[in-house]
Amino acid sequence: MIAENMVQLGQCKQIIREIAAYAGERRAVVGADNVFDFSIGNPSLPAPPRVNATIRRLLDEMDSVALHGYTAAVGDNRARAAVAARESERAGHAIPPDCVYMTCGAAASLTIAMKAIACPGDRMLVLAPFFPEYKVFVENAGAELGVVPPADLSMQPDLGALEAAIDERVKAVIINSPNNPSGAILTEQTLTAVGDILRAAREKYGHEIFIISDEPYRELVYDGKTVPFVPNFYDDTLICYSYSKSLSLPGERIGYVLVPPSVRDHDRVFAAVYGAGRSQGYVCAPSLMQYVVAECSQERPDVAGYDGNRRLLYTALTEMGFECVRPDGAFYLFVKAPGGSAAAFCERAKKYELMFVPADSFGVEGYVRIAYCTTEAMIRRSLPAFQKLADECFGRA
Amino acid sequence: MIAENMVQLGQCKQIIREIAAYAGERRAVVGADNVFDFSIGNPSLPAPPRVNATIRRLLDEMDSVALHGYTAAVGDNRARAAVAARESERAGHAIPPDCVYMTCGAAASLTIAMKAIACPGDRMLVLAPFFPEYKVFVENAGAELGVVPPADLSMQPDLGALEAAIDERVKAVIINSPNNPSGAILTEQTLTAVGDILRAAREKYGHEIFIISDEPYRELVYDGKTVPFVPNFYDDTLICYSYSKSLSLPGERIGYVLVPPSVRDHDRVFAAVYGAGRSQGYVCAPSLMQYVVAECSQERPDVAGYDGNRRLLYTALTEMGFECVRPDGAFYLFVKAPGGSAAAFCERAKKYELMFVPADSFGVEGYVRIAYCTTEAMIRRSLPAFQKLADECFGRA
């Protein structure tokens, strides 16, 4: 008679961790250089040098009680101002610092944003493919997840399916652009169409419908692409951000929720965000990391490194005959499983010590996710294994 | 039609922050040296020197990707081992590291522990006086709070009232020793009696009843007092801890939940703790601070500084005629409001630029909380103001 759903959540195997553990076992058997683990989306680039330099300077210059003390629950004013300045640039108009609620990373941002807006019986829609933890977070908010499939290999949503999925119970649509696991960026055209659909639905059902925009990969974009400022396409958008990828600080748990001025009943929604953080025990975001953000929010990772990996792997796999989504951002390659079964394809790949994640749990069947946030050297070493896998898959063995 | 309870939680004034803001206004008017703000429980002692030295060394020696990367969701193995070693010492028997779930501080520990065990309709009891956020956390877990009053000025619980308050819906009793706001430590005698009551109730109702032991002040104890290892008195105890006070790191959000081996169905309960963290978006505890804990968990604050403040204030106020709970731990003095109304007493004190917190929201009427985690100099400067307040209260003006 304890919380059975929490027991199950704690006991259920997280497939990505299982694969990573298997990779560890294989390294012990065949040697680290002969195992090609593409399972985990952990940044392989170090934090920009200014991050650690800033930590050292803060230790030298700032009073220890202030440095490690509570900040305001909504965040340190300098950190909020730095976030607001950056978002103002993206928006093309001023975003005041009091729209910013600093959090312990993207997962915290998401659970807080969802809990702030969810009422009993609500549904939240997600555009597939999607990060599986969204389901956990939506259910934590007491809501129910609905899945909208992608239209085609471009991984833009099927707009007809989105329209059909919206009913009076839908309170939010969760988007993630650049997308984990496909690397797709939602285009301005898509966002305009999604905005039109949601405005019509809001009108029809007479209540709020939010976009929750999960943007941790926002700065990991290639070929000159950029990620649009979503509230410019739809007013009632909450932005959830993390510095996990842009500053390579995933373990430090630092991010924010932005409630832009365009959100209707802005102050009530912002109060609900603060209330939802408070209720879940988020007293404040880690103080030292808030001061790092205040000084480093304009820093960028060495995207060229990820881009090199992306080109290398996309070109090689495409030439071998695999069908791949060309990623515009993030650090994942989304590959169609020859034969149709992602699980069978992943099992087959293991013979060649290649490890990646079947994407069924991401809401799209028949694909795998290959995380290229690894070293270029490992990718180069892995190519003969991919070739053997291709030969087997395509009957050229 | 957003989450109205979250809006209200975000909008409701937190009295302690309001008093602190008022103190800021008064400083601008009468000068910082003439304002005596005893409202906030923010450690006034810096972190032990080894903390910042460890951060510097980690920056020098550890690979940045590892230092700032995700740890396992349950925590870094070295941090867990350090916690387990410390708890083993306290317990007098071995506590394995896999009983430790690292968290983002005590509030996170509490919301996670509560959500792990709460089923719909459950009640959780708290021993008054108690930290008001417990109510918020209990409600976040979908349970309902019940309050058990203290027996007398020793601030040990009224055991008869505890027994009477337990019914079949009670899933947990929350204890906090040393106590915020009274500074009381639950004695071994009290813990034995509470354990007996809960064992009988567990037997009677045939389901688990947990103690949730919130212990952030555990190392802030005086006169040679120690805080007992609660699971030695009652098997089904979950320990919630934070390094906010012992390492003076409140802003960094680092702590843990301990599910000791004595807990029945240990592995299921531990899984539920992990599941409850996961569902609320707690991906891992901040990585850099976990590595700090791994090396600094045996460090202690300069308790002598707090003890000096305690003696100074307790002696002075008692001599002036105020009735005070003699605190054995934490850094609060719990003072009976002359006249009976805490609010009226706090208002009266403001005339002398003295600011403290009426304890009605802590579940005990007619008391105020005076936080002495401030400078000795401020306390000395405040004594003439306290004298004037006493003279007015006791009709000697």
DSSP codes joined into one string, B314-341: HHHHHHHT--EE--SBTTEEEEEPTTS-
Identify from A1, A6, A77 which residue to disrupt to test chain B contact, counting B C-beta atoms within 10 A and taking the largest count: A6
Q: Does A44 touch chain B (CB under 8 A)?
A: yes
Distance from CA of B1 to the nearest CA of A (A): 7
Mind telling me how many Å the CA of A277 is from chain B's nearest CA?
A: 9
- Residue A16, pLDDT score: 81
Question: What pLDDT shows up at residue A14?
Answer: 75
Suggest the residue from A101, A138, A253 to mutate for an interface test with chain B (most B CBs closer than 10 A): A253
Q: pLDDT at position B41, please?
A: 83
- In B, which residues are within 8 Å of A50 by CB distance? none
* Rounded (10°) angle between helices B4-11 and A266-279: 90
B-chain CB neighbours of A139 within 8 Å are 279
Q: Distance between CA A275 and CA A257 in Å, rounded?
A: 13
Q: Are the beta carbons of A286 and B68 separated by less than 8 Å?
A: no
CB contact under 8 A, A119 and B55: no
Provide the ipTM: 0.95
Instruction: Report d(CA B189, CA A82) in Å as an integer.
Output: 53
CA distance A100 to chain B (A): 14
How many CB pairs below 8 Å do chains A and B form together?
258
Distance from CA of A216 to the nearest CA of B (A): 14
Please report which confidence band the pLDDT of residue A316 belongs to, taking 50, 70 and 90 as the band edges: very high
**A286 close to B (CB below 8 A):** yes
Average pLDDT of chain A, as a whole number: 95
- Find all residues with CB under 8 Å of A63, minimum gap 6, and list them: B46
Say what percent of chain A tops pLDDT 90. 91
pLDDT of residue B254: 98
pLDDT (0 to 100) of residue B247: 95
Verify whether the Cβ–Cβ distance A251 to B11 is below 8 Å.
no
- Asked if residue A397 has pLDDT above 70, the reply is no
Provide CB contacts within 8 A for A31, sequence distance 6+: none
Query: Is A264 in CB contact (< 8 Å) with chain B?
Result: no
pLDDT of residue A88: 98
Edge-to-edge strand ranges of the sheet holding B100-103: B100-103, B255-258, B237-242, B210-214, B170-176, B123-127, B144-148
| Secondary structure class of B150 (helix, strand, coil) | strand
- Classify the C-alpha dihedral A174-A176-A182-A187 as positive or negative: positive
Pairing of strands B144-148, B123-127: parallel
Tokens standing for residue A221: 């974009």
| 8 Å CB contact of A10 and B289 | no
Instruction: Measure the CA–CA gap between A249 and A44, rounded to whole angstroms.
Output: 11
The whole-model pTM stands at 0.96
pLDDT at position A182 is 94
Query: Rounded to 5 degrees, what are φ and ψ at B384?
Result: -60, -35
CB-based contact B272 A2, cutoff 8 Å: yes
B99 at interface of A, judged by CB pairs closer than 8 A: no
Q: Give me the sheet containing A357-358, strands edge to edge.
A: A324-325, A332-336, A367-371, A357-358
Question: Which residues of chain A have a CB within 8 Å of the CB of B118?
Answer: 2-3
Cα separation of A346 and A366, whole Å?
11
Show which of residues 4-23 on chain A sit within 8 Å of chain B, judged by CB atoms: 4-11
Using CB atoms, which residue from A10, A65, A278 is nearest to B275? A10
Optimal mutation site among B1, B4, B5, B6, interface A, most CBs of chain A within 10 A: B6
Rounded-to-integer distance, Cα A70 and Cα A287, Å: 7
Quick check: A62 pLDDT over 80? yes
Q: How far apart are CA B58 and CA B54, in angstroms?
A: 6
Interface of B with A in 170-199 (CB under 8 A): 171
Q: How far apart are CA A212 and CA A114, in angstroms?
A: 8
Cβ distance of A288 and B288 shorter than 8 Å:
yes
Over range A221-250, report the average pLDDT: 96
Q: What is the mean pLDDT of residues A303-323?
A: 96
The amino acid at residue B185 is I
- Asked if B177 and B237 touch (Cβ cutoff 8 Å), the reply is no
Token digits for A18?
């299982």
- Decide if A207 and B1 are in contact by the 8 Å CB cutoff: yes
Per-residue pLDDT of A176-207, as tens digits, reads: 999 999 999 999 999 999 999 999 999 999 99
> How close A72 comes to chain B (CA, Å)?
9
Cα dist from A209 to A166, A195, B260, whole Å? 10, 10, 45
Residue A265 and residue A263: Cα distance in Å, rounded? 6
Asked whether the beta carbons of residue B105 and residue A248 sit closer than 8 angstroms, the reply is no
Give the integer Cα–Cα distance in Å for A235 and A208.
Answer: 11
Burial string for B355-385 (b: 16+ CB within 10 Å, else e) reads bbbbbbbbbbebbbbbbbbbeeebbeebeeb
Q: Which of A133-147, A367-381, B17-31, B77-91 has the lowest mean pLDDT?
A: B17-31
For residue B86, count CB atoms less than 10 angstroms from its CB and return exposed for 0-12, middle for 13-18, buried for 19 or more: middle
pLDDT of residue B12: 84
Q: Which of B9-17's residues contact partners 24+ apart within 8 Å by CB, and which partners?
A: B9/A274, B9/A275, B9/A276, B9/A278, B9/A279, B9/B136, B10/A270, B10/A271, B10/A272, B10/A273, B10/A274, B10/A275, B10/A276, B10/A278, B11/A268, B11/A271, B11/A275, B15/B357, B15/B358, B15/B361, B16/B40, B16/B41, B16/B357
- pLDDT by position in tens, chain B (length 397): 899 999 999 988 778 878 888 998 999 999 999 999 999 888 888 999 999 999 999 999 999 999 999 999 999 999 999 999 999 999 999 999 999 999 999 999 999 999 999 999 999 999 999 999 999 999 999 999 999 998 887 889 999 999 999 999 999 999 999 999 999 999 999 999 999 999 999 999 999 999 999 999 999 999 999 999 999 999 999 999 999 999 999 999 999 999 999 999 999 999 999 999 999 999 999 999 999 999 999 998 889 999 999 999 999 999 999 999 999 999 999 999 999 999 999 999 999 999 999 999 899 999 999 999 999 999 999 999 999 999 999 987 5
Q: B208 phi and psi, to 5 degrees?
A: -60, 140
| Torsional sign, CA B195, B196, B197, B200 | positive
